[in-house]
Amino acid sequence: MTICREACRAPGHHRLEEPPASERGAIALVSLHTSPLDQAGVGDAGGMNVYLRSVAGWLAHDGWKVDIYTRATGPQDIKQPQRDIGLAKVHYLKAGPARPLGKADLTAVTEEFAQAMANFPPASVIHSHYWLSGLAGLTVAAVWGAPHVQSLHTVATMKNRDLAAGDTPENATRISAEKRLARQADAVVAVSRAERAAIVADYGVDPAAVRVISPGVDPAVFHPGPPPDPASLPQALRRPTGYLLMAGRIQPIKGQDLALQALARIPRPVRPALLITGAPGQGHLEYAAMLRSLAGELGLLDDAVFFGPQDPPRLAALMRGARATLLPSRSETFGLVAIESAACGRPVIGSDTTGLRDSVTDGVTGRLIASRDPQTWADGIVQTLGDERLDGAGGGPARTWRQVAQALSGLYLRLARHEAAR
């Protein structure tokens, strides 16, 4: 596992922070709608899946008993309901039919999921990830008498403010649930200042209850180094002008259409290719098909290359080979790809919005563009690629997943001790 490589190579990994592991207990991480073992960039799997795999590995490495609870979505999950992520365990619970369900249908199975989870030995703290998980996690926390921590990962109101044309807004049911979960949680963990601000302002949560703990990177995977073997790349990516990279789920909020429109406005003699990795998010097959049609309409069939989702080592190699990573997102809770790209020594060109203001340091690790005009983006791309200060941007020490886990561990310990004292 990636986590194991980071754990084994990180300097001083054998030294534990106070208090020692013998004083730690059990942590229940809830991820109802997606398994942490799912490939990021496929379906509903994304940065949250990377987050869960990474912090679970480090929390378990540092002495916690870590159990992750997710929903069974196929026969294999019923046949093998428990799997390992290093020292952590993933439990697949029967809740509704054992097949993938749309998010709109998952609210109906949260009670069954909670009942199944409550049959397991109680944990010291429950940490729910995403609002659907919180609906179950809050119920189980009451049964177990355990503190409940809520991470939303995407705030519905924040997402709705930056909705792409034709995209479906998050409904009132979700907004109401997020508001209740954030208010009733013993603590809320946000991954960026923008997410914290939205939770406080939109849901009326006490600012003291919302703590920002930003994601990290695995330095054993994401680091400066050799690019991929040119022979392993399509011909379009081998051109002298190089290529730009987009990584993540294919959906309107990520702005792949803006990237194509900007690319078409860069003169051919200096135009790089564009590599788009990932698969369509739930309900976005039409958008993915539109992107391919758009590439044809813009005369980019020789310039745009669509790859499927990539595992972390291959993604890191592709980042190292790219001239820059593009993040023209309408909204990002944080922007994990941005810090992974910077860790590989490649600049990021991103939207000047929401969480990207935390993950991209404008003028240092990349450039933020406060516009959705394709020509402005084309100009920004050309300027960034010609800026020697940004060539090799990042590459220095980055926040690691171990540091993220240590921050979470301190929060869990405080909550568990408070509950025990009470």
Full set of structural domains in the chain with CATH: 2-216+400-414 (3.40.50.2000), 230-390 (3.40.50.2000)
Q: What is the pTM of this model?
A: 0.89
H-run or E-run covering 93: strand 88-93
Q: Per-residue confidence at 218, pLDDT binned at 50, 70, 90?
A: very high
Instruction: Report helix, strand or coil for 286.
Output: helix
Chain segment 102-119, per-residue pLDDT in tens: 888 999 999 999 999 999
Helices (H), 83-187: 103-106, 110-118, 131-144, 156-161, 172-184
Chain segment 15-70, per-residue pLDDT in tens: 334 444 445 899 999 999 999 988 765 666 678 999 999 999 999 999 999 999 99
Q: In Å, what is the CA distance from 96 to each residue of 3, 70, 279, 349, 374?
A: 31, 12, 26, 42, 44
Q: Mean per-residue pLDDT for 289-308?
A: 96
Chain segment 164-216, per-residue pLDDT in tens: 877 889 999 999 999 999 999 999 999 999 999 999 999 999 999 999 999 99
How confident is the prediction for the chain on average, in pLDDT?
A: 90
Q: Per-residue confidence at 359, pLDDT binned at 50, 70, 90?
A: very high
Q: In Å, what is the CA distance from 56 to each residue of 44, 53, 291, 406?
A: 19, 5, 36, 11
Residues 6+ apart with CB under 8 A from 122: 26, 144, 145, 146
**CB contact at 8 A, 218 and 240:** no
What pLDDT score does 103 carry?
82
What pLDDT score does 41 carry?
58
User: Which candidate, 302, 298, 348, places its Cα nearest to that of 322?
Assistant: 348
